[in-house]
Amino acid sequence: MPAALILHGGAGAADPDSRGQRERGLISAFAAGWNVLSHNGRALDAVISAVAVLEDDPVFNAGLGSCLTQDGTVELDASVMDGAAFRVGAVGAVAGVRNPIRLARAVLEDGRHALMVGPGAWRFARERAVPTLSAQSLVTARQYQRWRTGRGVATPGTVGAVAQDTAGNLAAATSTGGLVHKRSGRVGDSAIIGAGTYADNGLGGCSATGDGEPILRTTLARTAVELLGGGREPGWAAQTALRLLGQRTGGEAGLILIDGLGRIGYAYTTPTMSVALSVERQVQLRVA
Tell me which residues touch ligand GLY (CB under 6 A): 77, 158, 176, 178-179, 188-190, 209-212
Please, which residues have CB within 8 angstroms of residue 243's CB and are 6 or more apart in sequence? none
Pairing type for strands 76-82 and 4-12 reads: unpaired
Say which of 155, 158, 174, 219 is annotated catalytic.
Answer: 158
- What is the nearest approach in angstroms of ligand GLY to the Cβ of residue 64? 17
- 3-class secondary structure for 181-224? CCCCCCCCHHHCECCCEEEECCCEEEEEEECHHHHHHCCHHHHH
- What is the nearest approach in angstroms of ligand GLY to the Cβ of residue 54? 14
- What is the nearest approach in angstroms of ligand GLY to the Cβ of residue 189? 5
Per the annotation, the verdict on 209 as an active-site residue is no
Cβ-based nearer residue to ligand GLY, 65 or 210 = 210
- What is the nearest approach in angstroms of ligand GLY to the Cβ of residue 84? 25
Residue 147 CB-half CA count within 13 A = 24
- What is the nearest approach in angstroms of ligand GLY to the Cβ of residue 207? 10
Cβ-based nearer residue to ligand GLY, 176 or 278 = 176
- 3-class secondary structure for the chain? CCCEEEEEEEEECCCHHHHHHHHHHHHHHHHHHHHHHHCCCCHHHHHHHHHHHHHHCCCCCCCCCCCCCCCCCCCEEEEEEECCCCEEEEEEEECCECCHHHHHHHHHHHCCCCEEEHHHHHHHHHHCCCCECCHHHHCCHHHHHHHHHCCCCCCCCCEEEEEECCCCCEEEEEEECCCCCCCCCCCCHHHCECCCEEEECCCEEEEEEECHHHHHHCCHHHHHHHCCHHHCCHHHHHHHHHHHHHHHHCCCEEEEEEECCCCEEEEECCCEEEEEEEECCEEEEECC
Cβ-based nearer residue to ligand GLY, 204 or 212 = 212
Cβ-based nearer residue to ligand GLY, 165 or 211 = 211
- What is the nearest approach in angstroms of ligand GLY to the Cβ of residue 133? 21
Cβ-based nearer residue to ligand GLY, 71 or 127 = 71
* Distance, C-alpha 91 to centroid of its chain: 12
Cβ-based nearer residue to ligand GLY, 84 or 187 = 187
* Active site residue ranges: 158
